[in-house]
């Protein structure tokens, strides 16, 4: 019996558990039917029989026996005399089944078939991997660090599949060593050079959402819903939650007794501060909660322009803005409103403070007006804010702000 040993090729299939046997048989059949079409011009009268267990393959040719001289289609018919040479007992009208010797295709054709088969197996593996991970997008997994590079980390899952954690998807404080296990969320599946690349993320809001789902049973059970999450990875995050059961305090459930539930997540996120707030459709109340830990005195809302002017006592302004402006930035993202923070009008108690109008001979009136628009009407109120914050909230250039602060500071130095 002529056969071609395909055990190595079949082993490729067996290693890829996601490829089922019917698919395997179909691929092998397609590869060799292509071979038949190249040699005979058609594959209609050929049966490809695959023994997946042994790794054997047989090709059977079917032809009808006709009278000598009446062969109209050599592919489908054979003359009686030729059939009798194969088996003397054959009669006209019977169907002749004859095994095709694979070696007749030639060494080059057989090699090409093996290469095609290997290529099809590889494509099937890639497709199976893409489908598997596309169905798992948004899921948190734990993978082992295999290689650490400057711009990304290569990890391996439990099946040995390669996963990528780019630097842009890492928390700034992240530091990985080969062999350690890392938790991340499956962000997306990209195709690079015709190969699937599974991209993980630790900075995505979805990662925090899934960690909360794992730690808080009420979220997993659907009793508490996460309405929105905004993050500045490694620094601060704000989570708006809502309870569908009046008996459950959503904030208390997420934080846990003495912070027991939230502490594990904070550690996982490299001490990222997590503000959990109760979601509400009352915009004013939502903005107030979103600026936690600052306490608001009052605010002015413009719902059409999605603008909120928030007024606070002097000692609350820095809390509302936060370090590097992170707190107010996240509050804007969470509420969808552009929030500007103003110092509430107070009597000047600092004997060294000076009204901004006193500098009208050194600072142009329109510049003074720009500062007053954001509640900065004294020298101290301007000097307390960073150049970046003043630049963001006013229409002034950085150089102008620096020059104004220099003038104000020199005046204080003279007073001292």
Q: The CATH number of the domain where 159 resides is what?
A: 2.40.50.140
Contacts 24+ apart (CB under 8 A), 122-131: 124/16, 124/19, 124/23, 124/27, 125/16, 125/18, 125/19, 126/194, 126/195, 126/196, 128/16, 128/18, 128/19, 129/18, 129/161, 129/196, 129/198, 130/189, 130/191, 130/196
Residues 14 and 107 in one domain: yes
Residues 327 and 394 in one domain: no
Domain coverage including residue 373: 356-415
**Per-residue pLDDT in tens (0 to 9) along the chain, 416 residues:** 344 455 455 555 545 555 666 677 777 778 778 777 877 777 787 877 776 565 567 788 788 888 887 878 777 788 888 778 777 777 787 888 877 777 777 777 777 777 777 777 777 778 888 888 889 999 999 999 999 999 999 999 888 889 999 999 999 999 999 999 999 999 999 888 878 899 999 999 999 999 999 999 999 999 999 999 999 999 999 999 999 988 999 999 999 998 899 999 999 999 999 999 999 999 999 999 999 888 898 888 998 999 999 998 888 888 888 888 899 999 999 999 999 988 876 443 444 577 788 888 888 888 888 887 777 778 888 888 888 888 887 878 899 999 998 888 888 777 65
Domain assignment present for residue 266? The answer is no
Write down the pLDDT at residue 3. 44
Residues 15 and 126 in one domain: yes
Residues 189 and 113 in one domain: no
Cα–Cα distance list, 87 to 46, 84, 91, 260, 373 (Å):
19, 5, 10, 84, 105
Residues 315 and 377 in one domain: no
Write down the pLDDT at residue 350. 43
Q: Strands of 244-368 (E only): list them.
A: 273-278, 298-302, 307-312, 338-343
Write down the pLDDT at residue 413. 77
Residues 397 and 374 in one domain: yes
Among 132, 163, 186, the domain-final residue is: 132
Query: 75: domain CATH number?
Result: 3.30.1480
Write down the pLDDT at residue 388. 87
Domain assignment present for residue 257? The answer is no
Domain assignment present for residue 224? The answer is no
Residues 75 and 170 in one domain: no
Residues 173 and 99 in one domain: no
- Tokens in use for 28? 């092998």
Residues 120 and 158 in one domain: no
Write down the pLDDT at residue 93. 78
Residues 12 and 31 in one domain: yes
Write down the pLDDT at residue 82. 79
Domain assignment present for residue 259? The answer is no
- Tokens in use for 251? 């904030």
Residues 52 and 128 in one domain: yes
Among 295, 311, 342, the domain-final residue is: 342
Among 109, 132, 155, the domain-final residue is: 132
Domain assignment present for residue 308? The answer is yes
Write down the pLDDT at residue 76. 78
pTM (two decimals): 0.64
Number of compact structural domains in the chain = 4
Residues 13 and 79 in one domain: yes
Write down the pLDDT at residue 20. 62
Domain assignment present for residue 335? The answer is yes
């Amino acid at each position: 019996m002529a056969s071609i040993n395909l055990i190595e090729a079949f082993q490729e299939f067996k290693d890829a558990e996601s490829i089922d046997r019917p698919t395997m048989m179909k691929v092998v059949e397609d590869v060799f039917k292509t071979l038949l079409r190249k040699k005979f011009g058609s594959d209609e009268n050929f049966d490809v029989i695959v023994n997946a267990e042994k790794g054997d393959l047989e090709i059977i040719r079917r032809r009808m026996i006709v009278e000598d001289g009446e062969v109209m289609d050599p592919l489908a018919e054979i003359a009686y005399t030729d059939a009798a040479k194969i088996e003397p007992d054959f009669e006209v009208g019977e169907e002749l089944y004859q095994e095709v010797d694979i070696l007749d295709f030639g060494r080059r054709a057989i090699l090409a078939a093996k290469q095609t088969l290997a290529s099809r197996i590889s494509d099937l593996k890639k497709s199976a991997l893409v489908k598997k991970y596309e169905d798992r997008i948004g899921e948190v997994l734990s993978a082992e660090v295999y290689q650490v590079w400057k711009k990304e980390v290569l990890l391996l899952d439990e099946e040995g599949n390669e996963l990528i954690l780019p630097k842009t998807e890492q928390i700034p404080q992240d530091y990985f060593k080969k062999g350690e296990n890392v938790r991340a969320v499956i962000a997306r599946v990209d195709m690079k050079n015709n190969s699937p690349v599974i991209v993980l993320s630790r900075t995505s809001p979805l990662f925090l959402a899934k960690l909360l789902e794992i730690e808080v049973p009420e979220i997993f059970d659907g009793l508490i819903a996460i309405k929105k999450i905004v993050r500045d990875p490694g620094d601060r995050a704000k989570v708006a939650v809502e309870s569908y059961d009046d008996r459950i305090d959503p904030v208390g459930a997420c934080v846990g007794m003495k912070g027991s539930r939230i502490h594990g997540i904070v550690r996982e996120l490299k001490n990222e501060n997590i503000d959990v707030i109760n979601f509400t459709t009352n915009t004013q109340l939502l903005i107030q909660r979103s600026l936690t830990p600052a306490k608001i005195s009052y605010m002015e809302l413009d719902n059409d322009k999605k603008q909120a002017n928030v007024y606070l006592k002097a000692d609350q302004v820095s809390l509302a803005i936060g370090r590097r402006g992170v707190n107010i930035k996240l509050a804007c993202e969470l509420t969808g409103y552009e929030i500007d923070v103003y110092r509430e009008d107070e009597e000047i108690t600092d004997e060294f403070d000076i009204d901004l109008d006193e500098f009208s001979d050194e600072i142009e009136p329109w510049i003074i007006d720009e500062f007053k628009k954001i509640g900065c009407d004294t020298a101290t109120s301007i000097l307390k804010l960073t150049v970046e914050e003043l630049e963001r909230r006013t229409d002034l250039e950085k150089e102008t702000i620096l020059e104004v602060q220099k003038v104000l500071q020199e005046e204080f130095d003279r007073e001292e």
